Chain A
Amino acid sequence: MVDFEKEEEIKKQEINIHLLLLLAVFVVATCGLIYELVAGTVASYLLGDSVTQFSTIIGAYLFSMGIGSYLSKFFNKHLIAWFVQIEITVGLIGGFSSSILFLMFDHVESFRFLLYALVGLTGILVGLEIPLLMRILEKKYEFKELVSKVFTFDYIGALLASVVFPLFLIPYLGLLKTSFLFGLFNIAVAWVLCLKFKEEIAWIQSLKIAAIISFLLLATGFAFSERIMNFAESMAFQDKIIFAKSSPYQRIVLTKNPREYRLFLNGNLQFSSSDEYRYHEALVHPALEFLSNKKNILILGGGDGLAVREVLKHQEVEKIILVDLDAEMTRLFKSNSMLTALNEKSLSSKKLQIINEDAFLWLKKNKQEFDCIIIDFPDPSNYSIGKLYSNSFYRLVYQSLSDSGMCVIQSTSPYVARKSFWCIDTTLQSVGFNTQAYHAYIPSFGEWGYMMALKNRNYILPDSFRKDLRFLNEETLKQLFIFPKDMQKVPAEVNKLNNQVLVHYFEEEWANYQ
Chain B
Amino acid sequence: MKRREFLLSGLGLGIVLSSQFSCKKGNSFQVKFADDYASRGHLLREPKFNKPSTTFKENILIIGAGISGLSAGRRLKKSGINDFKILELAKESGGNSISGKNSISNYPWAAHYLPIPDERDSELISFLKECNVITGINHENKLEYNEQFLCFDPEERLYINGHWQEGLVPHSGIEETDHKEIKSFFELIQFYKNAKGNDGKDAFCIPIKNSSNDSEFTKLDEINFYSFMQSKGYRSKYLFWYLDYCCRDDFGSSIQDSSAWAGIHYFASRKGKAANAESGDVLTWPEGNAFLANGLKSIIKEHLICNQLVYSIEEKNEMIEVLIYDFDKEESINYQCKHVILSGPQYINKRILKQSKKEELYNKFTYSPWMVANISLHQLYTNKGIPLCWDNVIYGSQSLGYVNACQQHLNLHENEKVITYYYPLSKGQPKQERELAYKRTEDDWKKIILADLKIAHPNIEESIKEIEIKLWGHGMIRPIPGLIKGDEIKEMRKPLNDRIYFANSDITGISIFEEAFHSGIDAADLCLENLSKNA
Report A155-195 CB contacts with B as 1/0, cut-off 8 Å.
Answer: 00000000000000000000000000000000000000000
Does residue B150 face the partner (Cβ distance < 8 Å to A)? yes
Are A103 and B4 in touch, CB under 8 angstroms? yes
Q: Given A246, A248, A364, which contacts B415 in the complex, CB threshold below 8 Å?
A: A248
Q: Given B8, B14, B17, B152, which contacts A497 in the complex, CB threshold below 8 Å?
A: B152
Are B412 and A497 in touch, CB under 8 angstroms? no
Q: How far is the CA of A99 from the CA of B13 in the complex (A)?
A: 10
Are B413 and A249 in touch, CB under 8 angstroms? yes
Q: How far is the CA of A355 from the CA of B17 in the complex (A)?
A: 40
Report A485-514 CB contacts with B as 1/0, cut-off 8 Å.
Answer: 000000000001111100100000000000
Shortest CB–CB separation between residue A470 and chain B, in angstroms? Answer: 32
Residues from chain B with Cβ under 8 Å of A107 in the complex: 8
Shortest CB–CB separation between residue A51 and chain B, in angstroms? Answer: 30
Q: How far is the CA of A500 from the CA of B21 in the complex (A)?
A: 41
Q: Which residue of chain A is the closest to B381 with respect to CB atoms?
A: A230
Are A359 and B412 in touch, CB under 8 angstroms? yes
Q: How far is the CA of A104 from the CA of B387 in the complex (A)?
A: 31
Report B186-214 CB contacts with A as 1/0, cut-off 8 Å.
Answer: 00000000000000000000000000000
Are B412 and A498 in touch, CB under 8 angstroms? no
List residues 1-26 of chain B with CB under 8 A from any CB of chain A. Answer: 1, 4, 7-8, 11, 13-14, 17, 20-21
Residues from chain A with Cβ under 8 Å of B410 in the complex: 358, 360-361, 364, 387
- Contact of A500 with B4 at beta-carbon distance under 8 Å, contacts A217-B17, A325-B413, A384-B412 already known: no
Are A387 and B412 in touch, CB under 8 angstroms? yes
Q: How far is the CA of A88 from the CA of B8 in the complex (A)?
A: 23
- Contact of A227 with B387 at beta-carbon distance under 8 Å, contacts A248-B1, A383-B154 already known: no
Q: Which residue of chain B is the closest to A498 with respect to CB atoms?
A: B150
Interface majority SS on B: helix, strand, loop or mixed? Answer: loop
Q: Given B147, B152, B277, B413, which contacts A358 in the complex, CB threshold below 8 Å?
A: B413
Q: How far is the CA of A231 from the CA of B4 in the complex (A)?
A: 7
Are B13 and A96 in touch, CB under 8 angstroms? yes
Q: Which residue of chain B is the closest to A501 with respect to CB atoms?
A: B153
Q: Which residue of chain A is the closest to B153 with respect to CB atoms?
A: A500
Residues from chain B with Cβ under 8 Å of A91 in the complex: none
Are A358 and B411 in touch, CB under 8 angstroms? yes
Shortest CB–CB separation between residue A72 and chain B, in angstroms? Answer: 27
Residues from chain A with Cβ under 8 Å of B281 in the complex: 498
Shortest CB–CB separation between residue B126 and chain A, in angstroms? Answer: 23
Does residue A202 face the partner (Cβ distance < 8 Å to B)? no
Report A77-114 CB contacts with B as 1/0, cut-off 8 Å.
Answer: 00000000000000000001001100110110000000
Are A217 and B8 in touch, CB under 8 angstroms? no
Does residue A152 face the partner (Cβ distance < 8 Å to B)? no
Additional 9 contacts, C-beta under 8 A, given A100-B13, A360-B412, A497-B150: A100-B11, A103-B8, A106-B8, A224-B20, A248-B1, A249-B413, A358-B411, A382-B387, A383-B152
The 3 closest A-B pairs by CB, nearest first: A500-B153, A358-B411, A498-B150
> Could you list which residues of chain A lie within 8 angstroms of chain B, going by C-beta atoms?
96, 99-100, 103-104, 106-107, 217, 220-221, 224, 227, 231, 246-249, 325, 358-361, 364, 382-385, 387-388, 390-392, 496-500, 503
> Could you list which residues of chain B lie within 8 angstroms of chain A, going by C-beta atoms?
1, 4, 7-8, 11, 13-14, 17, 20-21, 147-148, 150-155, 276-277, 281, 387, 410-413, 415
